[in-house]
Amino acid sequence: MKIKVLLALLFCSAIGFSQSVNDYKAVIIPLKYDFIKTDNQYRLATLTKSNLLKAGFEAYYTNEQIPAGIDRCELLYIDVKRDNAFLVTKLFIQFKDCYGKVIYTSETGKSREKDYEVAYKESLEGAFVSVIGLHYKYNGKTASSTSSNVTQAVAPVAAAIVSSAPVEEKPVVNLSDPNLLYAQPTENGFQLIDKTPKVVMKLLKTSHADSFIAIKDGIQGSLNAKDNQWYFEYYQNDKLISEKVSVKF
C-alpha cells in the first residue's frame, strides 16, 4: 500500500507541472449538461462550440466524427457547471483530460436576467472571457509524449521503490475488437461509448480502481477487472451473469 501511495504522489507531482490546455489538440462537447433537461437546450452546446472556435480551439460534439489519428487522450472534455445562487445565474467551465482530471477551471460568468435562455447565454459568454484570455495555441505536444516525459522523470525513483515488488497486470485492450468501448470521463466516473458514438454503459467510481458500479440498459451491476479482462456482472433471476467487456480507458 505504501508503495502505491508513493508512486501515485510521484506521478501526480510530475503531471501537475506539465499539463495545460495547449497540450491538447481539440475539445469534445457534450450535447447536454447536468443542469439542463434536453440535448442542446437553450442552445448551450451550440454556444459552447462557437465560443471554443472563437477562442482558437478545434471542437467537436460527442456525436461528431473525430478526425482519424487523434487519440482520445489528446482531447480535452469540456463541462459547464451551474453554481446555484439566489436571483443570479452563475456558470463556469471546466476542461478535463481523458482520465477525468481537471486541467483548467474558468472564472464564473454571471447574469441577473430572468429569462433562462438569455441568462445562460450571458453567463456562458462571461465564463468564456477567461478561456479566451488563455490565448490557446496547440503546442505540438501529445498525450503520449507527455506521458513519456513523466515516465522518464519518475522511473528512476519508482524503480528503486518497487524493485522487489510484484507487478500488477492491467486488463488487456484489443483495439481491433469491433465491440470495443471507449471511456469518457464524467463527474462521478465514466460513460462507455461505441464507435457510433452511442452511450452503452455508465460507470460510477468506487473505492477500488479496478471496480465500478455499472448501469447498462437499465440493469445495475458492476464492472470488474479480473484475469486481465473487464467483466460486467449482474444478477438475473437470482443467477450471477458475467459478460466480458472490451474497454479502452
The pLDDT assigned to 63 comes to 87
The pLDDT assigned to 71 comes to 86
Which residue from 205, 173, 166, 174 is spatially nearest to 188, judged by alpha carbons? 205
The pLDDT assigned to 208 comes to 85
Q: How many domains does the chain have?
A: 2
pLDDT, one tens digit for every residue, the chain (249 residues): 555 544 554 444 444 445 789 999 999 999 999 999 999 999 999 999 999 999 999 999 988 888 888 888 899 999 999 998 888 999 999 999 988 889 999 999 999 999 999 999 999 999 999 999 999 999 887 554 555 554 454 455 445 544 444 445 668 788 888 889 999 998 889 999 988 888 999 999 988 888 999 999 989 899 999 888 999 999 888 888 999 999 998
Choose one of 132, 163, 190: the last residue of a domain. Answer: 132
Q: How far apart are CA 145 and CA 143, in angstroms?
A: 6
Q: How far apart are CA 109 and CA 243, in angstroms?
A: 45
* In a domain? residue 185: yes
Largest Cα–Cα separation, the chain = 63
Which residue from 41, 184, 21 is spatially nearest to 93, judged by alpha carbons? 21
Grid cell listed for 248: 479502452
Do 188 and 99 share a structural domain? no
Distances (CA, A) of 194 to 72, 120, 188, 198, 248: 13, 31, 20, 5, 11
Cα dihedral value 217, 174, 198, 98, nearest 10: 110
Which residue from 120, 176, 117, 165 is spatially nearest to 1, judged by alpha carbons? 165
DSSP run (H or E) holding 190: strand 189-193
User: In sequence order, what are the beta bridge partners of 219?
Assistant: 216
Do 102 and 35 share a structural domain? yes
The pLDDT assigned to 8 comes to 52
* In a domain? residue 226: yes
* 167 touches 156 (CB < 8 A): no
Do 96 and 35 share a structural domain? yes
The pLDDT assigned to 122 comes to 96
pTM, 2 dp: 0.57
Do 185 and 127 share a structural domain? no
Distances (CA, A) of 161 to 8, 88, 157: 12, 52, 6
pLDDT digits (tens, 9 = 90+) for 174-184: 888 888 999 99
Do 30 and 125 share a structural domain? yes
Host domain of residue 71: 25-132
Q: How far apart are CA 183 and CA 203, in angstroms?
A: 9
Neighbours of 69 (CB within 10 A): 7
Do 186 and 126 share a structural domain? no
Number of helices (H) and strands (E) in the chain: give both, helices first.
4, 14
| CATH for 43 | 3.30.160
Do 38 and 123 share a structural domain? yes
Choose one of 106, 132, 158: the last residue of a domain. Answer: 132
